[in-house]
Amino acid sequence: MTLISISQDIPLSIYNFHVFYISTAAIILFIALLLHKDYSLKRSMLYTFASFITFYFFAYSAADRYYKLERMGDKLNLSYISPHKDKSILITEIKSMSFGSSNRSGSGCFVSIKLFNGDSYKSSAIQEGTDYCKQKRKELMSVLNIKANKSLKQDK
């Protein structure tokens, strides 16, 4: 039973957008360092590689959110754009569920799953208002039979 399903194209396009601009910036940086008289080819390559890896990490972490949440018996399957990141968690491991705004304007939101062991999993941005995610959270908690924790506030 599919509980949350966001088009895989949205997080994938965001990831590809970031990688494209990171690659373009790395090429421009490499050319600029080559043209600079104080930097050798080896040093230019090293600085370019280090900056590319640093910014690629940020692009990868921005895409590190599940886009599909399915219930299979007593487990939840979380699907990511990178298939090796797919997770399966027991419903009994879920401590709470929350929601939050994915940007400052409030036009997008996410649903977050928190486990007893401290792990937390956020959904990709859902292109709806926070009221939608609030309702989706209530629906998920009802379907999964999870009690609401009154001390939890909305994620920021």
How high is the mean pLDDT of the chain? Answer: 82
- Each residue of 110-153: pLDDT tens digit? 888 999 999 999 888 888 877 888 888 888 888 887 776 544 44
Predicted confidence band of residue 105 (pLDDT cuts 50, 70, 90): low
**What is the pLDDT at residue 39?**
85
In this structure, is the dihedral angle defined by the CA atoms of residues 87, 93, 98 and 100, taken in order, positive or negative?
A: negative
Strands 94-101 and 68-72 come out as unpaired
Predicted confidence band of residue 88 (pLDDT cuts 50, 70, 90): very high
What percentage of the chain reaches a pLDDT higher than 70? Answer: 91
Average the pLDDT over each of 1-5, 46-50, 99-103 and give the range with the smallest value. 1-5
